[in-house]
Structure 1
Amino acid sequence: MKILDLLKNVSIDVNATCSNKDEAIDTLVSLMAKQGNLNDQDVYKQGIYAREELSTTGIGEGIAIPHAQSEAVNAPGLAAMVVKDGVDYQSLDNQPAKLFFMIAVPKTGGNEHLQILAMLSQMLMDTDFKDSLINAQSVEEFMDLINQKEAAQKAKEEEKEEAQKEFTGTYRLLAVTACPTGIAHTYMAAEALEEKAKQMGITIKVETDGSGGTKNAPTTKEIEECEAIIVAADKNVEMARFNGKPVIQVKVADGINKAEELINEALSGNAPIYHADHISTTVESENDESVGRQIYKHLMNGVSHMLPFVIGGGILIALAFLFDDYTIDPSNFGKNTPLAAFFKTTGDTAFGFMLPILAGYISMSISDRPGLAVGFVGGALANQGNSGFLGALVAGFAAGYLMKGLRKLFDYLPDAFEGLKPVLLYPFFGLLLMALLMTFIINPPVAAINTALTNALNSMGGSSKVILGMLLGGMMAIDMGGPINKAAYVFGTASIASGNYDIMAAVMIGGMVPPLAIALATFFFKNRFTKKEQQTTLTNVIMGLSFITEGAIPFAASDPLHILPACVAGSAVAGALSMFFNCTLMAPHGGIFVIGVISNPLGYLFALAIGSVVGKFGLALLKKPLK
């Protein structure tokens, strides 16, 4: 396979005109679609934007390589575009981008095309080659330049492989490059480091951790003998093997744009020594993130690990009540029959892990492995101290920053104590201080707040609960899986643990409405949607009934001003009606498939239908017929 097998004439424009980043992406996606290898243009575009949110793919020097690995891609492909006047693509060097390559990769499939894309990424590091592409006067000239360069690049790669096989000396430097998708930046950083080291007369071996797997990994002997290691990555890589070595950890973009600076720093003798027992294996620098972003990242790490326990345990508990006989012993409802007792015991066990898991993984996100045990214990103490979900939340952050402080403090100890830190010093002092914090500082006030909140929810009258249901339902549709949606969902799952089951019912129905409203609108008001959008009707029905709000994201992303207000209105109405009909839900997920454990199921279905119809007519009102 060659690059030109992935790049077709119809997907190249050497005289494109775009005024901003969004227009550039739209044009490239349209070019990609001309190949016929996309099954859903909107979903693929969502993947492109999701990659841009991680970090810009405008790598500087006039080059941008937007890319996505998506289920919307049937076959790998490339699209190329030249904007001779340049586009503000928010590139790393703040300069306009002129040369664009867009990469489409299927979620599954072989790795041969990934090797081709890696070669393309390396070729673009050649300034003369880049400039010749920008100045190409025709598609044919553009293709011919790539063909010639690819042949030269293959010869260069073969020569490098032979040189490595024959090399018997010691590498002064080792490096690892990795980006989140492992498609472009991984190999561009590797190429930049190798070329700069060659110019400086320094031997280097670079491991690439790409989508096609790890390539060129150093041996144990090479790690022992090297002087220092550079890790240029935007995702976790295997770091324990570098224990005791000087290691510089930076973003993958620095590997591309600051290769010489990194090499000089690594060999300066001032690179920090990596200790696998307490230095985080993540390479993302918190100094480049806002405080809000850091808090959200740590919180979501805890929530994502907690949800399987909550969802699985919650559904099992709900099944216990469904299969039990209340009349046998009302005080023991949920465990009166052997089957119900089995479900209830298993569900309660899973639920019992909820708070320790939440706190433990928040703490671990902040302070790596030493924070896990301390966070677990903090979450368990929150459970025992009646501070509940809120207490576990506070415990997770407290444990994380406590252990971060202890790590810095213990760095002043002599090297002889290094081996005692992970097995004795961190757990003993961490757990002791955490217990004191929870017992005397965190649990008392948080338990009082938690009790007051629970009492307030239990004492809410009809109108107050309806307003709360309307608010929570609307929140589920505002960003469809984003922070606001997650906040409402976490509030619902926490309320289950506190015995307020009506809140979870309003939350789930709010998340079910957007896909259903869109399905109804695409069916009854076809003239407002494209043919491709009309084909998603059945898919959105299934997603809506399954409580998968994300089914509505492609529509919201393509037309947020018209889609979101209608969906929010429908979800808010459904959430309010769920509260009005006193619907309760003990399971934190399941959609229509847990209707058997929802109290007043007919009222719930009615609320779902009304909310979906409101959303449908809102879409019909806001969206104008297509020309």
Structure 2
Amino acid sequence: MNILDLLKSVSVDIHAEVNTKDQAIDHLVNLMNNQGNLKDKEVYKQGIYAREELSTTGIGEGIAIPHAQSETVTAPGLAAMVVKNGVDYQSLDQQPAYLFFMIAVPKTGGNEHLSILAMLSQMLMDTEFKDKLINAKDKEAFLALISEKEASQRKKEETKNQEQNASNQSYRLLAVTACPTGIAHTYMAAEALEEKAKQMGISIKVETDGSGGVKNAPTAQEIAECEAIIVAADKNVEMARFDGKPVIQVKVSDGINKAEELINKAISGKAPIYHSDHSAQAVEETSSEGIGRTIYKHLMNGVSHMLPFVIGGGILIALAFLFDDFSINPANFGSNTPLAAFFKKAGDTAFGFMLPILAGYIAMSIADRPGLAVGFVGGALANAGGSGFLGALVAGFAAGYLVNGLRRLFDHLPDAFEGLKPVLLYPFFGILLMALGMTFLINPPMSAINNGITGLLNSMGGSSKILLGIVLGGMMAADMGGPINKAAYVFGTASIATGNYDIMAAVMIGGMVPPLAIALATFFFKNRFTKKEQQTTLTNIIMGFSFITEGAIPFAAADPLHILPSCVVGSAVAGGLSMALGCTLMAPHGGIFVIGVIGNPLGYLIALVAGAIIGMIMLALLKRPLKNAS
């Protein structure tokens, strides 16, 4: 696809006579409508004005590029006009606009046209080319200039890509450009920064966050080695990766019109240091990075996105038990009163997203956006099929590498299929293969493991109740809501029907200990945890008292070798003590809020505190102090 595939002669007017911005927009919309790619030109015009409300598309230097992405656009298109006398378009430099390009983009479809529009935006940064277009004698000459310049621009892009691929040099500056629609300004700002840096003899790498996704993203090594970073963006971009680096944040229009000023400020050493207060998403790494570190980063991307669902949903469920009345219907505890039912439903809904979010964002970290849907489906199937937390982990990694495999496979298809890959081929084949894998390869063995563990527990019931309490308590902490945890919980709830209330007591106390042990450790041994982890103390106390073991998942996922053994031992001790002290429980859930129905409540509290303290002590012994902990 070329620019002239989008820009037709019927949508070009090089002798337009308009006097105001509104007239200019009206005329351009009519030119666009001449292509027959608008179902409703008035709806499209509303989209143009909505974009203008965000910031003017009169970028200065005599150029305006109004654009909109709308459902009424049936095919991508361009319209162009020249106003010889100029018109006040409320441009950024307050000067008249002479050259106009209007862009129409569909809401759905392939992304090939976006690269064409990006190229046009970059071409317009050439002052000589712009002046030639304004002074073109007729439409044919206007279109010929564009065709000639496009060929030159393609060669320039190929040369730049070859130089970047062949060079292992570090960059003095990095930049990110992004506008709300990601159509024009994103690429114009990138071109302006690259050209000005080249003139100044300064190496720079610019990431563009456009409608086609993030391109040319810097690696972690490049971020570490650069002097400063320029973020010229009118929308949110991933900033956590720049933590501790000098960062200049400005509007995308400043990237276009103040490139030299921004570069000088960046290399002056006066740029402010950026500090992030949230987990960074995965950044593309160099191939020299170890496999373990790479897997860890993918895992943390899933965990960081999952965390709000765990915390928000967990607290809502805790409130449900707090405001409920156990005496109304013990079997329905947590949903007996309207207020409790409201909190319980909201919390359960949030928890329902936990595993799909985990798997989806692990997959996205590995395979970028095409992996997200496949990972979500894998996580949901793990949840429905009984695989739980561990199944979702496997699903996330499987989905990511599955999509990467599909990418390599589909690379052999003709270029005509390029636009179909992200919207049809990747989601269809990815989800299909993911469903088959979860159904036949992952969920069956996990279900078999669950059944086997349940059978083992039933055989142990009459032998040693203290040993059974130790085993059940430890199982509740083994995988934090996964198949082992669920097997122990199902065994505990089933025991209520047979009158074995001591088993349920040991199960629940085993599930309460992990968040409490972590809460105590983050409070008394702060130097073992990051500042963000230290802030979860109160949340984990609430979750622990509410019997929400999943509150410990983010810690267990981030550091399983230290967290899991500590929690398992603490929970096992609590479960064994609960059995030894004759504690019983008739409710299948509720944590400390059902203390009224716990047999020997004082003994139960003693067992709970003992398990949490032992878990805390083990964490303090196993985890090393962090260098940067505060």
The alignment's TM-score, normalised by the length of structure 2, stands at 0.47
* Alignment TM-score, normalising by the size of structure 1: 0.47
Q: Which has the larger radius of gyration?
A: 2
